[in-house]
C-alpha cells in the first residue's frame, strides 16, 4: 500500500488533536504545573524514542502572498488553536540565522497563542510537533520554554524518578539530571533538575536547550514543577546557564540554587538565586538589582552572604580593567547590597599606562622614560599592553628623530608569533615606510591612523609641536605655509565671533575630521589651535530608518507586562519623534496587533490590510495578511 508523506501524517495528527480545545474569546485559566503520577497526559503514552529534530534542516522559504481583493472583502481572522499553532510553527521553521524581524514574529505569535488559548497545545502530539519546529529554528533564536515546560512535567509523571538520590534519565531526547534538595521543608525530598537537549552532547555547540528547574514531591506521590521564570540558554545574548551552587544559601533551612548566566563574551556574568516561595520559584535577589560579577571572592558554606568582584573595562586601548568587590547579604526576604565602592585598577602595566595618557602630550624624552620604566612591571594579563607599549615606544623614537631605534623595535615586534592583529597591521606599515626619508613623524602617524582606530600615536600633539616650532607669518597666506610643512588643506572657512578677530580655519588632509584655526597672535605671527568642526561645516544629520525602529521597551510592555495601551503609547511617541520618517512596517504591525488584542476590530482590520498591501514582501506584511481572511 502506498504510504502517505510524513509531513501530511503529522499535519493530520495536529488537526485531529487540537481543534476545538479552547474558546477564542473566553480564555481559560492556565493549567497548573502540578500533576499526579497516576494521571495520564491527554491519554498519550510517553515518547519511547527521540521525537524531535536532531539536525537543524534548511529553513523553509515562505511564499509571498498578496491580497486577492479589496479590503471590504476581508475580515479579521477568527483563530482556532490548530491554525494559530500551524502559523507559529511555520514562522519558526522559516527563521534564518540573524533574522531579527523573523524572531520577533515568532515571539508575537507565541504571545498571541498564550493570550487566546492559554495552556495550548494541551495534546502531547501537538506539543511534540511544536517543540520539533522550535528545534528546527536556528540555535538560540526561539524561546522554547512555553512548549517544553509541560513536557518536563510529563517526563516526571511518566518516569517517576527518585528525588532523594542523585540520578539522571532520558526522556524524548532530553536529559534530566536530578540533584536532591529541600525546597518546602516537609519529610519528602525535592530536587533541583537540569534539563538539557539533546541528551548526549559531543560539543557545546550542539546544545539547544538547558534549564535548571525546581521540582517537589509530596507524600501522596505528586510531583510538582514549581512555576517560575527560569532562565534558559541558548537564547538571544544568553549563551549559557550553569549551576554555581545548590544549598541553603540564606540560613532558612531550605535549599536554593545559584545560577550563573553567561552573555556571549561579556566581561561579567550574572547570578540569580532561585528558591521556593509561596509555591513558586522566585529570584531572591533584591527586585530591581542585578548581581554582575567576573569572579567569586568569598562565599562561605552555611553563611547567608557572599562577595563578588564586578569588572569594568577602563581602557579598551590598553586592556586596563577595573574591579570592585561587592558583598550581598540576606536581609528582609532578599539578598541586598549597600552602595558599591569605586572601581580600582586591576592589571599593572595596562592600567599604569592608561592612567599616564595622553602620553604624546608629554615631552618626548619623558614619555620614553615612562614607558621603559613601566615595562618591567608587566604581569601575566598584560601581554597585549606590552605589545602596544613597545609600538608606542617606537613612535616616540620616531618623534625624537631616532628612526634606527624605532625600526629595531618594530622589527622585533614583527617576529612575535602572537601579535595583536591591529598592532600587526600598524607594524607592517611602519616596516615599509620607516626607511623612506620623505616620511616625517606626522606622515607616519597619519599612515597608521588611516588603518587603525587605535593607532600607537596621536596626531594632535605632533601637530601642536610642529606649529609651535614653526613661525606662521601673517604677511603670507597660510595655506602655502602649511603646504611647505607637508600638510594639504581640504577645506577652509572663517570663524567670526563678537569681540574677537576673525580666525582662519582649515581642514587638513589627515585621518579624521581634523580642523585647525589660526589666531592672530601679534602683528607678525599666527598661533595654531585644534578646534571642532566649524558650525557652518557641520552636515545636518537626517533621521534614518534606524531612528524609527521600535524600542525594546515596547516589546517589554507587550510581551512581558501584557500592557497594550502602553505599547500603543510608545509607538505613538516614536511616530511623533520621527516626523520625517514614515512608520516602519514593524511599528505598523505592532499597532494593528494591539488593536486586535484590544478588541478594536475595525482599526485592526484596516491597519492589517494597509500594511499587507503596501509591504507584502516584508515579514511584517505577510504576518499582517495572516491575520485576515476572506469573508
| Residue 628: per-residue pLDDT | 97
Adjacency order of strands within the sheet including 489-495: 472-473, 525-531, 515-520, 503-508, 489-495
Going 496 to 500 to 480 to 449, the CA torsion angle's sign is negative
Phi-psi region of 85 (alpha: psi -120 to 50; beta: other; left: phi over 0): alpha
Interstrand relation of 503-508 and 515-520 (parallel, antiparallel or unpaired): antiparallel
Closest CA to 413 of 426, 399, 398: 426
The cell 522554547 sits on which residue?
A: 144
Distance CA 357, CA 606 (A): 60
Q: C-alpha grid cell for residue 339?
A: 552602595
| Residue 573: per-residue pLDDT | 95
Going 202 to 204 to 210 to 212, the CA torsion angle's sign is positive
C-alpha 115: how far from chain center: 27
Closest CA to 329 of 350, 356, 349, 300: 300
Q: What is the dihedral of CA 101, 103, 105, 111, to 10 degrees?
A: -140
Closest CA to 145 of 215, 200, 103, 195: 195
Q: Measured at the alpha carbon of residue 522, what is the angle toward residues 516 and 526, in degrees to the nearest 5?
A: 20
Rounded (10°) angle between helices 124-136 and 145-159: 130
Maximum Cα interatomic distance, the chain, rounded to a whole number of Å: 106
Q: What is the dihedral of CA 26, 32, 33, 36, to 10 degrees?
A: -120
C-alpha 430: how far from chain center: 37
Residue segments in the chain with a per-residue pLDDT below the cut of 50: 1-44, 48
Distance CA 434, CA 318 (A): 24
Number of Cβ within 10 Å of residue 494's Cβ equals: 11
Contacts of residue 269, Cβ cutoff 8 Å, sequence gap at least 6: 260, 261, 262, 263, 292, 293, 294
| Residue 541: per-residue pLDDT | 56
| Residue 217: per-residue pLDDT | 96
Pair 590, 607: CB distance under 8 Å: no
Number of Cβ within 10 Å of residue 277's Cβ equals: 15
| Residue 58: per-residue pLDDT | 65
| Residue 286: per-residue pLDDT | 97
Residue by residue, DSSP assigns 355-381 as HT--GGGS-HHHHHHHHHHHGGG--GG
List helix spans (H) across 63-165: 81-93, 100-116, 124-136, 145-159
Q: C-alpha grid cell for residue 116?
A: 487566546
Closest CA to 35 of 197, 160, 180: 160
Pair 249, 256: CB distance under 8 Å: yes
429: enclosing H helix or E strand: helix 421-433
Distance CA 193, CA 184 (A): 16
Pair 271, 258: CB distance under 8 Å: yes
* 499-507 contact pairs (CB < 8 A, 24+): 504/478, 505/531, 505/534, 506/478, 506/479, 506/482, 507/533, 507/537
Backbone angles phi, psi at 277, to 5 degrees: -140, 120
Closest CA to 270 of 259, 281, 282: 259
Distance CA 239, CA 235 (A): 6
Distance CA 259, CA 270 (A): 8
Amino acid at each position: 500500500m502506498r504510504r502517505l508523506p510524513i509531513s501530511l501524517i503529522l499535519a493530520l495528527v495536529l488537526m485531529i488533536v487540537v481543534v476545538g480545545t479552547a474558546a477564542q474569546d473566553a480564555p481559560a485559566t492556565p493549567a497548573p504545573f502540578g500533576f499526579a503520577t497516576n494521571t495520564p497526559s491527554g491519554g498519550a503514552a510517553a515518547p519511547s524514542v527521540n521525537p524531535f529534530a536532531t539536525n537543524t534542516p534548511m529553513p523553509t522559504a515562505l511564499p509571498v502572498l498578496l491580497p486577492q481583493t479589496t479590503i471590504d472583502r476581508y475580515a479579521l481572522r477568527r483563530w482556532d488553536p490548530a491554525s494559530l499553532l500551524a502559523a507559529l510553527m511555520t514562522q519558526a521553521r522559516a527563521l534564518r540565522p540573524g533574522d531579527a524581524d523573523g524572531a520577533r514574529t515568532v515571539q508575537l505569535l507565541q504571545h498571541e497563542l498564550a493570550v487566546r488559548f492559554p495552556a495550548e497545545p494541551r495534546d502531547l502530539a501537538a506539543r511534540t510537533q511544536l517543540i520539533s519546529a522550535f528545534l528546527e529554528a536556528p540555535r538560540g533564536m526561539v524561546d522554547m520554554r512555553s512548549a517544553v515546560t509541560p513536557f518536563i512535567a510529563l517526563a516526571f509523571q511518566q518516569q517517576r524518578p527518585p528525588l532523594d538520590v542523585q540520578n539522571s534519565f532520558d526522556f524524548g531526547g532530553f536529559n534530566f539530571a536530578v540533584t536532591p534538595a529541600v525546597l518546602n521543608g516537609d519529610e519528602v525530598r525535592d530536587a533541583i533538575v537540569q534539563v538539557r537537549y539533546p541528551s548526549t552532547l559531543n560539543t557545546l555547540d550542539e546544545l539547544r536547550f538547558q534549564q535548571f528547574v525546581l521540582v517537589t514531591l509530596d507524600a501522596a506521590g505528586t510531583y510538582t514543577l514549581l512555576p517560575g521564570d527560569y532562565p534558559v540558554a541558548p537564547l538571544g545574548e544568553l549563551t549559557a546557564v550553569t549551576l554555581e551552587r545548590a544549598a541553603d544559601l540564606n540560613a532558612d533551612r531550605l535549599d536554593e540554587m545559584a545560577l550563573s548566566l553567561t552573555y556571549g563574551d561579556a566581561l561579567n556574568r550574572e547570578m540569580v538565586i532561585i528558591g521556593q516561595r509561596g509555591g513558586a520559584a522566585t529570584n531572591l535577589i533584591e527586585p530591581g538589582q542585578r548581581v554582575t560579577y567576573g569572579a567569586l571572592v568569598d562565599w562561605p558554606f552555611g553563611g547567608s552572604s557572599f562577595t563578588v568582584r564586578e569588572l569594568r573595562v577602563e581602557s579598551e586601548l590598553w586592556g586596563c580593567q577595573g574591579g570592585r568587590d561587592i558583598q550581598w547579604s540576606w536581609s528582609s526576604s532578599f539578598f541586598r547590597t549597600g552602595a558599591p565602592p569605586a572601581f580600582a585598577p586591576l592589571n599593572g602595566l595596562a592600567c599604569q599606562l592608561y592612567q599616564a595618557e595622553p602620553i604624546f602630550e608629554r615631552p618626548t624624552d619623558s614619555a620614553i622614560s615612562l614607558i621603559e620604566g613601566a615595562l618591567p612591571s608587566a604581569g601575566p594579563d598584560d601581554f597585549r599592553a606590552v605589545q602596544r607599549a613597545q609600538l608606542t615606544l617606537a613612535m616616540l623614537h620616531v618623534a625624537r628623530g631616532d628612526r634606527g631605534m624605532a625600526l629595531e623595535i618594530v622589527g622585533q615586534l614583527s617576529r612575535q608569533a602572537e601579535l595583536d592583529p591591529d598592532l600587526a597591521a600598524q607594524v607592517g606599515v611602519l616596516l615599509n615606510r620607516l626607511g623612506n626619508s620623505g616620511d616625517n613623524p606626522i606622515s607616519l602617524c597619519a599612515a597608521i591612523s588611516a588603518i587603525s582606530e587605535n593607532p600607537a600615536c596621536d596626531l594632535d600633539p605632533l601637530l601642536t609641536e610642529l606649529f609651535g616650532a614653526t613661525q606662521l607669518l601673517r604677511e603670507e597666506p597660510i595655506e602655502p605655509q602649511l603646504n611647505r610643512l607637508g600638510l594639504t588643506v581640504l577645506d577652509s572657512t572663517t570663524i567670526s565671533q563678537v569681540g574677537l578677530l576673525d580666525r582662519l580655519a582649515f581642514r587638513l588632509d589627515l585621518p579624521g575630521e581634523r580642523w585647525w584655526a589660526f589666531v592672530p597672535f601679534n602683528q607678525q605671527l599666527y598661533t595654531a589651535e585644534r578646534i571642532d568642526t566649524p558650525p557652518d561645516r557641520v552636515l545636518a544629520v537626517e533621521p534614518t530608518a534606524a531612528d524609527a525602529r521600535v524600542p525594546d521597551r515596547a516589546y517589554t510592555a507587550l510581551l512581558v507586562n501584557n500592557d497594550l495601551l502602553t505599547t500603543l503609547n510608545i509607538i505613538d511617541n516614536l511616530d511623533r519623534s520621527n516626523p520625517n520618517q514614515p512608520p516602519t512596517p514593524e511599528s505598523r504591525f505592532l499597532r494593528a496587533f494591539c488593536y486586535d488584542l484590544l478588541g478594536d476590530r475595525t482599526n485592526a482590520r484596516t491597519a492589517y490590510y494597509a500594511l499587507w498591501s503596501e509591504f507584502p514582501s516584508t515579514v511584517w506584511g505577510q504576518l499582517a495578511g495572516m491575520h485576515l481572511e476572506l469573508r
